[in-house]
Amino acid sequence: MNGKISHKLLAVLLTLVVLVLGVSVVAAQGEPVEPVVVLSNVQAADPIEFETTRLLVENMRALGLEVEHRAIPWEQQSELVWFSRDAWQMTAWRMVARPERMDPDEFVFNLFHSSTAENGYNFVGYINPDYDALAEGQRGETDQEARRDMIFQAQALIAEDVPYVFVAHPQLPYVVRTDVWDINTVVDQQGIGIKNFWSWIGMAPLTDQRTIITNTGDELVSINPLYIAGDAPSRVTELIWDRLMRIGPDGLAQPWAAESVEWTDPTHVTVTIREGMMWHDGQPVTAEDVRFSFLSPQTGEAPMYAPFVARISDIEIVDDTTLNFTLTEPWAAFEVAALSKLNIIPMHIWEPILADLADTEDNAESYQEEMPIGSGPFKYVAWQPGESIILEANPDHFSPPAADGFIMRIIPNAESALGQIQTGEINVLTEWEGDASVLADVVANDPTLELFASPDLGFRFYAFNLRLAPFDDIAVRRAVAHTMPIEAVIANIYKGYAVPADSYVSLAIEYWHNPDLPQYDFDIEGARQILADAGYTWDADGHLLMPAA
C-alpha cells in the first residue's frame, strides 16, 4: 500500500477503537451559520406582507437559523434592495400586474438573465448560463409551441434553483363608488383587475364629482418615464406618457400612439405614428422623439429599460410619421415587451439631461423632472410627497379621459383607506392590504359600493440575495422554501383572496404556466433533512452550523 492507509482500512480501525475503548467519535462541526435579516414593509402599510414575513421568520428559526424580521417603510426597502445589492440578505417583494406582462418575456428574461444582475431586475444576482440560453432562445423563437417549451424549461430551472420563495398570486379586492362612477364603464382587465389604464381613461362620472380619487399605501419614489419604482409610480407614468402600443382589455397589444404597426418580415417593423400629437408643453411629438425614446436606453443611461430595446439594431425615420424598426433577430414578444412597454419621451427635454448624466455616476433612474412632460391623456399638476399626486385631463389628447382629473392619495394605513372610501374622500379603492373579508362585509352593507376581485398575474414572493451567505447555498434556499406554509397564508392572511404561486408565470395565463414544477410543500422536518444531507449540523442549543471544512 506504499505506506498509505486506505479509506476502508481507516474506517475499520476507527470502529475498533470505538468498540474496544468505548471512545465516541463525534463528527467535526462547522462555524455557526450567518445570522439572517429578512426585510418587509411595515405592518400599517402592508399587513399581509408583514404578517406573512413574521410567520415565515418563526418557521425559519425552527431550522436553527438566527433570523431577524426588520420591517421598514417601502421607500427605504426599495432603495436598499435595488441600489445596494450587496447590503441585504432576504426580502419580501412583489411583482405587480402590468398589461405588458401578459406575455411572459419580461419576467423570463429580465428577472433572471445574468445581464440584468448588476443594475436591472435580476437584483438577487442569479447567474446560470443554461437559464440565459433559454431566456434568449425564447425571444427569437417564432414557433409558438417551441417557445412555450423553452419557457416551461426556464420556469423549471428557477423552481429547482430557488432564487425566490413564491407565495401567492393575489386576488386582491378593489372597491368603486357607484354613486360617483358609472359601473358599466369600469374595465376589469384580464390578469390586471380594474386598476388599469382603460378604467382611468374610460370611467364616466355620474355627478359633478368628475375626478378619480384613489389610494396607495406606498410613498411614490419617483415620477420618471425611464424608471418605474413599483406599482403606484407605474399607474401614474402610464397616464402622463404615451406608448406606441397598449395592451388591450383582452390582453393583446393594440396600436395607441401608433396609427399602425406592420411587420414586413420577422426582423423589420414599420410604425406609423398619429398626426397632431403634442407634448404637454405645447411642442409637437415627432418621429425623432420616438426614435430617441427607443435608442436612449441602449446608451446605459436607463438600465431598467435596456433589455426591452437590446434587439433593436436601427430605427430609420422615413418621414414625419413613419419609422422602420430593424431587429438584430426575430423577437416574438416585440410588440408587447417593447412597443407596449417603453414610454415615449420628449427629445428636447431628455437629450440634454442624458448628456449631462453621461459625465456623472448617476443615470436617468435617479433623475426627477421638476415638471414632468409627457403627451398622454393626463397632465402632471403637482406632487406632494407623503400626501398625493395630482393630474388633470388632457382635453387635446386623441383619446381624452371621461374624468376631469386623477388624484392618487398616499394613505399608508389600510384602516384609514377603508374609512375614506366609505366617506367619499376617495372614490376608487385600489389598494387594500387588510382583511379582505372585512372589506367584503362593508361593501355588502353599503349599496353605494361595488367590490371587484380578479385573479392577478402579479405575485408575492421572498427574494434571496444569492451573492451572500447563507443563501449562496442552494440547500439553504430549498430548506427555507419548505418553511413557507402557503395554504395557511392564503387561508388565514389573504382570507382566500389569492391562489398559490410556484412560478413567475401566473395561473391567470394558463397557456404559459408550467403545470409540472417542483413543489415545496410546508415541511419543517423535510427542510432539516435537506440541510443535514448537505452536511449542516446543529449544536447543543439547536443552532445551525455550517458543514465542516
Q: Where in the chain is the domain with CATH 3.10.105?
A: 36-170+457-545
Position 339 scores a pLDDT of 96
Tell me the CATH number of domain 173-241+376-453, given options 3.40.640.10, 3.20.20.210, 3.40.190.10, 1.10.390.10: 3.40.190.10
Q: Where in the chain is the domain with CATH 3.90.76.10?
A: 245-355
Query: How far is residue 489's CA from residue 485's CA, in Å, rounded to a whole number?
Result: 6
Q: Is 192 helix (H, G, I), strand (E, B) or coil?
A: coil
Query: How far is residue 361's CA from residue 155's CA, in Å, rounded to a whole number?
Result: 35
Mean pLDDT for back-to-back runs of 10 residues, the chain (549 residues): 37 35 47 97 91 98 98 93 95 88 89 94 97 94 90 98 96 92 92 91 97 91 85 91 93 93 96 98 98 92 87 96 96 91 96 90 88 98 95 98 98 92 96 85 96 86 98 98 97 91 88 94 98 97 94
Position 28 scores a pLDDT of 57
Tell me the CATH number of domain 36-170+457-545, given options 1.25.40, 3.10.105, 3.40.50, 3.30.2010: 3.10.105
- Measured in whole angstroms, how far is the alpha carbon of residue 129 from the centre of its chain? 23
- State the pairing for strand pair 36-40/67-71: parallel
User: Any alpha helices (H) in 434-473, and if so which ranges?
Assistant: 436-444
What's the one-letter identity of residue 491? A
Position 63 scores a pLDDT of 98
* CA-to-CA separations, 24 to 29, 364, 532, 539, in angstroms, rounded: 15, 64, 20, 17
Q: Is 70 helix (H, G, I), strand (E, B) or coil?
A: strand
What phi and psi, each to the nearest 5 degrees, are found at residue 266? -60, -10
Scanning the structure block, which residue is given the C-alpha cell 389569492? 498
User: Could you give the angle at the alpha carbon of 439 between the alpha carbons of 437 and 444, nearest 5°?
Assistant: 95
Position 102 scores a pLDDT of 81
Task: Domain 245-355: give its CATH code.
Answer: 3.90.76.10
